[in-house]
Chains A and B, each alone.
Chain A
């Protein structure tokens, strides 16, 4: 049994698709317990039993559509009109636009490709140091993960069976904290780079607003609809997807109909990858819960730590290591069911746990060896990976500080949930 487990781990590290490794471990467990292997089919079919799951393909598709249109350019123009006049304004613009776009596209790496291509040259043109720009754009790619309606938030809600609208509220303040800390760092780095600040122009704001007229209702419909309880998250996703499709293809005509199948396919590749892992994880999780793995983990953890604070510290270290190895989606699906009961024993609020979990995993996008953003940025901006590492490092440190604050200040996450 142990030999098999080590073999599976080895295969995972060698790059076997994670869903095959998880499925194999579940079936190995079944074999041990004398459960018929047919059970794996029943568990995978459980994908069709989970509520709100249709939100994941629909939001992902809407996000890919937006990133293929000129919406990223309009978003940057609008943000620039509102924030660009401040000192260090363009860095601020980059942070805000990235956070907004990531929230709507679900942290799949499209932010770096869609927005980075506009922001990176613009920052260079405005005389910001090259390393700073590279780090900013790379870390911006996963900023906004904590804002509604990002995919990881929805996935956590589905897995942990926590109300998703509550999670959407829980993410607001911690997400803002990350933004403010990064903005502060940007001001500090560029404190000597005193360009005469631009001037604020109502005319430019008006022009940018007019240009974005069709996309402007989106955040209000989606967020307003969900927060007010008028839409379930899956309904908001359907409205968003259909609306974006109609606007970008038929009204603005920025995406040709014949390109649609490829965009759909491209977006669904990610969705398929996430959902199939979800399916096989249902099998491995149920097996582990039957086998009493959470209780065993709890007794191990109980030997190490006693207070909630030390538990959170242990959790944080664990999540940072996990995030360096696993992508955020696999990590949520695999680990949340095991961590949830343990965290409950230490009195950690499930909303707070979710935000800490996602915030810590967000760092995983930026940490070697597998940080997705590092590779996308290296590829997209044609920079050596070592340079991307070092350029991103200061941003990683700032984000780590913010994650520590988020972990040890539960009210920050929980406060808005109960308002």
Chain B
């Protein structure tokens, strides 16, 4: 079956994607802890410090923000005004949910496109002394592209649920 193969491939992609997100978050958070504590140790005991550490720390914050944001899109954990899903019966909440996912996908795609334009435009700039700035900033269009993809998947899943009318429910907090 073609659809079986497709759904298996999608499932594998999902597992891979989650694993990559988790690995990146572990890496970024650990790097942040070690770098910041390392700076303190250098300052206290050796009266010195790494000149680029502060800037790198800030880039790490940006990366954590964006990677975690992609992860939050997967787990539906972005901050929102959560009235509908709590007060409206599930069957009436589905269509607004579709709308919202489609809107979110569109906006993320839009931001991805415009930030890519920005990265291309500022190609010659550097960060951390002599590293091209796109290395640090390229995460921006990528993260929004992935979020666009994620919200599109949410939309499609919701769309097929409405078509089939099956009473599956998204679990609570």
Contact = CB atoms under 8 A, between A and B. Distances in A.
B107 A23 contact: yes
A288 to B, nearest CB: 18
A3 interface: no
Interface residues of A, number: 66
B22 A264 contact: yes
A180 interface: no
9 interchain residue pairs of minimum CB distance = A272-B68, A238-B36, A275-B65, A41-B115, A17-B78, A41-B118, A268-B68, A48-B62, A272-B69
Given A47-B65, A48-B59, A48-B62, A41 B84 contact: no
Contacts of B103: 11, 16, 20, 24
Nearest to A27: B110
B99 A54 contact: no
Q: Main SS of the interface on chain A?
A: helix
Nearest to A62: B33
Q: How large is the interface on B (under 10, 10 to 19, 20 to 34, 35 or more residues)?
A: 35 or more
B163 interface: no
Contacts, number: 199
B32 A54 contact: yes
Interface string A253-271: 0000000111011001111
Contacts of B26: 260-261, 264
A198 interface: no
B108 A14 contact: no
B146 to A, nearest CB: 12
Contact of B62 (A40, A45, A238, A369): A45
Interface in A232-283: 234-235, 237-239, 241-242, 245, 260-262, 264-265, 268-279
Contacts of B77: 269-270, 273
Interface string A18-39: 1110011001000000000110
Interface stretch (A147-155, A325-333, A343-351): A325-333
Interface of A: 11-20, 23-24, 27, 37-38, 40-42, 44-45, 47-50, 53-54, 57-58, 61, 109, 231, 234-235, 237-239, 241-242, 245, 260-262, 264-265, 268-279, 325-327, 329-330, 369-370, 375-376, 379
Interface of B: 21-23, 25-26, 29, 32-34, 36-37, 39-40, 57-62, 64-73, 75, 77-87, 96-97, 99-100, 103-104, 107-108, 110-111, 114-115, 117-119, 121, 136-137, 140-141, 172-173
A38 B114 CA distance: 5
Nearest to A235: B40
Contacts of A370: 81-83, 86
